[in-house]
Amino acid sequence: MTAALVTGLLRNPNLTKKLSGNLLSLLEDGILSSVVLSSWESQRSNFGWLGNLRHHPNFIAVTEKEPVEPGPGHIWSQSLSLANGLAAIPREEMVIKLRTDVDISLRALSLLSSESNWCGVVAHRTKGWGNPEDFLKISECAEVAEGSAAFCSGKTWVPWVDITKPLYIADEMYVGIASRLAELVVYDSQIPNGIRVDTCPSHVKRFLRPAVKFWAGFELYARYFGESHHGLAVFADLQSRRMRSYPYPLFLAQYYKFLLLNFEVGSSSLLAVFHNEDLVFRRWLPPPARSVPREYCLCSYSTDYSWGLDRTYIYDLEWLKNYCHPSGEVFHSEGCLMAAQLSSDESLPSGDLEREVAAAAFNESDWLGSAEAPPAAKPKRPRSRTAGSLLWFCRKTVFRFGAGKNLARALKQLFSR
């Protein structure tokens, strides 16, 4: 059976009422075993939005005083809410983790409630997060992800992942075994010192611990390469530079292996879960970027498939399976290090990896220092006292009579010349 866990604030009355109605329907149909709401004492005044759901015998409300300090990206608050909710669910039960600002249809909720729908026929449940030594080549991971229902039964489902920055994985909702999801409870004392991440750090920190269990090198990634300068013009050049130099392709290859062995993403080939309106998260966000083409390689990085200057999402695993498969249809530029890494037998790093990573990070910081140096400021012309007085008089007159800021700005530019 599957339980639903709703965490955090009750943010929107209409979305909360819709979600509560859908969860109540699944409870009454026997598709869900229970619904757990893990929230804060301050939210009790909004419990009326839950409607009849709160009166169902298999509805459980867990509340606690909200933390004074929510943590970076609210990760401490989110982790406490997740931990409190999971404590009310058996460890071997499947869990759909939700929040009230996710607009998800009854159809998609119903399909995700059965693991066999989105991850093949359940043969057994694996408790860990995979083992890289089981599969020496990433190409073998692609084959496993395509055909092994037994391994698939231990996976966690997420709606999207980013393919340019390791461990930037969706966390607004996910589906998995309760004991595995408990590893996503993160407090600062569990995060190694020196971790520096600038793109949604709460996402990376949430998945860092299970990722380090999978491959210890992920800690070096977060320590030395977690800053991607997202949203800045330098990002695209930096991403291209990283793809052409060791060790970033190694980090990405291990990240892709971690994804293939441990996650199912979005609309898988086993289940076309989503139509356009089946899942909407925060309607004020821009629409999804263009789908990544099947033959696309990051060695020819393009912002055509990026949301802004920093996020390149995939909404299923088809691109990744093709990219990592030995017979995949991928266009690699000449000397592409990613192509060499994908066919490598290397599974675990050598003992010198940290030294190599630190040296590469030092060289990158030198390059960034020159790339981001601001242009020399143009010398300002001295302004005469007469022009200054006239400008002051015009601006005062404009604002007094309500002519507006645009005219004042134009006058300022005129008299500054």
Among 131-140, 152-161, 231-240, 270-279, where is mean pLDDT lowest? 131-140
Beta-bridge partners for 60: 36
Write the burial class of residue 155 (CB in 10 Å: 0-12 exposed, 13-18 middle, 19+ buried): buried
Which range is most confident: 22-26, 133-137, 347-351, 369-373?
22-26
Tens digit of pLDDT for each residue in 71-105? 878 889 999 999 999 999 999 999 999 998 888 88
Q: Where are the alpha helices (DSSP H) in 216-352?
A: 217-224, 234-243, 248-262, 318-324, 337-342
Asked if pLDDT for residue 204 goes beyond 60, the answer is yes
Beta-bridge partners for 273: none
Asked if pLDDT for residue 348 goes beyond 60, the answer is no
Among 6-20, 252-266, 332-346, where is mean pLDDT lowest? 332-346
Mean model confidence pLDDT for the chain: 78
pTM, rounded to two decimals: 0.80
Asked if pLDDT for residue 279 goes beyond 60, the answer is yes
SS3 state of residue 183: helix
Which residues are within 8 A (CB) of 49 and not within 5 positions of it... i.e. 6 or more apart? Answer: 10, 13, 16, 17, 20
pLDDT of residue 287: 67
Rg (CA), the chain: 25
Please, what sign has the CA dihedral across residues 292, 295, 296, 298? positive
Higher pLDDT, 393 or 197: 197
Which range is most confident: 53-62, 124-133, 186-195?
53-62
- The amino acid present at 99, given as its one-letter code, is R
Which range is most confident: 127-131, 253-257, 302-306, 344-348?
253-257
SS3 state of residue 177: strand
pLDDT of residue 300: 85
Q: Where are the alpha helices (DSSP H) in 189-271?
A: 201-214, 217-224, 234-243, 248-262
**Greatest CA separation for the chain:** 86
Is the distance from CB of 232 to CB of 306 less than 8 angstroms? no
Domain residue ranges in the chain = 129-169+214-374, 385-416
Beta-bridge partners for 95: 3, 176
Q: Taking the mean position of all CA atoms in its chain, how far away is CA 178?
A: 20
